[in-house]
Chains A and B, each alone.
Chain A
Amino acid sequence: MIEVKNLVKSFEDKTVLYGIDATFLDGKTNLIIGQSGSGKTVLMKNLIGLVTPDSGKILYDGRDLITMSASQKKSLRTEIGMLFQGSALFDNETVLGNVMFPLKMFSDMTPAEMRDRADFCLERVNLKGAHHKYPAEISGGMQKRVAIARAIALNPKYLFCDEPNSGLDPQTSILIDELLWDITHEYNITTIINTHDMNSVLGIGENIVFISKGKVDWVGTKDNIYHAESENLNDFVFATDLFRKVKKAALLLEKEQQRR
């Protein structure tokens, strides 16, 4: 479980996060949603310690990231996997090299064990036969899979994903979402996903934190989001005609179920 308490972050003269309070649950897909520029990436970078907040607390199962010593931070890092928006694969390593990289740097495995683990992870993300290709030679969807395989190589307790399906076609997006969902439940990972993709919100949002204007505006799940009263949230999630229809249909369905 990761708890965020009154987190404030500003850059030079501009405040991006005005006191965020949130809880991210074990074994669940936790979503941080909000408009572009609302501070999702900044919040995530604070959570993983790439950026230091101005004030506030970030507790990893009770351990405060901000007051941690360098060596504690280092060992925490091995429990964290991260999927970056642009995949962030290492250009000069092959697919296999990318997945083996964290193992080479942080595990005591023999080369054969590393190879097995990398094969397993690549198989887990349904990627076969691309082991010796370079990132530039594979599609965006495949790059995302490789990045997921790399992120889970060390069996992380916490998995962070920054807009995992940006730049992907809807079909591939859903496959990536399903993969993240499956992995989260299979290995009981605390998964935190930044997104502004409504398919993800309504599809895999087990714990949704909506950020608007640098504050938490609404917290809920994909099931009770249809009853949310927050105007900002409704404007954001049900912005298009299509999603307003989805909402109507969902509410009707619910009523029907209650009647039976």
Chain B
Amino acid sequence: MLFLTSCLHTFGQYALFMKRVLTKPDRWRESAKRYVFEISKLGIDSIPLVIVISLFIGAVIAIQMQINFENPLLPTYTVGLATRDVLLLEFSSSILCLILAGKVGSNIASEIGTMRVTEQIDALEIMGVNSCNFIVLPKILALLTFIPVLTVFSMASGLIGGYLIAQFTDIITVANYIYGIQTMFVEWYVWYAIIKSLFFSVIITSVASFYGYYVKGGALDVGKASTNSVVASSILILLMDVLLTKLLLQ
């Protein structure tokens, strides 16, 4: 019961926070500058991580699929097909966003938390700047607009990871793999992944900002807030994943 009321309380606080975030910026020019800066920091700086992780996971999925499908009744190209679908359906959106919740989310929460405990947020408020809007909105918009790029990069590098397995091992032939990843392709899966990632990106940025914004205390509390934000946004991403999958795929 106590848990439920505290959940409701937090949700209410989050709603009020978002109401302050989603307003017209004081100065469009300054907010636009921050938006460009955040695209570079949250989006472009995440590309290497996304590519490396997706390459390896693509490779691992290809190997595991081969083990699972070692059955004379199944055509050998099934490995390529299954690898592709796992990447498109789940990895390049949900799992990728869980990883980003760790990287981007903790970064945002600790940055904003530090601004809170060093009174930089108070300094903004004193000047008459809507600090929620000024700090958080550019971050939300930046990741929202950049996440499709990350998702597509992840899909592509995952498929390349599988290709490298086909190329450098004798698990499956390259021709079979290529045929597999092209067979029975459903374009909607790509859109489904992108739509999911859009929702997840808002969860990552807004939840992390929320946790950072309301830090009380000192450096230790910033660390705690950052950890809590990763846990909370991961759970929300998973819940949202179930909901969106039910809505979009059935």
Contact = CB atoms under 8 A, between A and B. Distances in A.
Taking residues whose C-beta sits less than 8 angstroms from the other chain, chain A's interface range is 20 to 34
Interface stretch (B52-60, B89-97, B119-127): B119-127
Contacts of B26: 105
A76 B118 CA distance: 24
Interface residues of B, number: 16
B212 to A, nearest CB: 14
Contacts of B129: 105
> Chain B interface mostly helix, strand, loop or mixed?
helix
Contact of B127 (A45, A73, A86, A106): A106
Contact of A105 (B27, B114, B115, B122): B27
A91 B120 contact: yes
A74 interface: yes
A150 to B, nearest CB: 8
Contacts of A91: 114-115, 118, 120
Given A85-B119, A88-B118, A80 B27 contact: no
A90 B120 contact: yes
Interface in A53-88: 73-74, 77-78, 80, 82, 84-86, 88
B118 A86 contact: yes
B72 interface: no
Interface string B94-121: 0000000000000000000011001110
A88 B122 contact: yes
A169 B127 CA distance: 29
Contact of A102 (B29, B119, B125, B127): B127
A50 B128 contact: no
B61 to A, nearest CB: 39
Contacts of B127: 77-78, 101-102, 105-106
A85 B119 CA distance: 8
9 contacts: A45-B122, A77-B127, A77-B128, A82-B122, A84-B122, A84-B123, A88-B120, A91-B115, A91-B118
Interface of A: 45, 48, 50, 73-74, 77-78, 80, 82, 84-86, 88-91, 101-102, 104-106
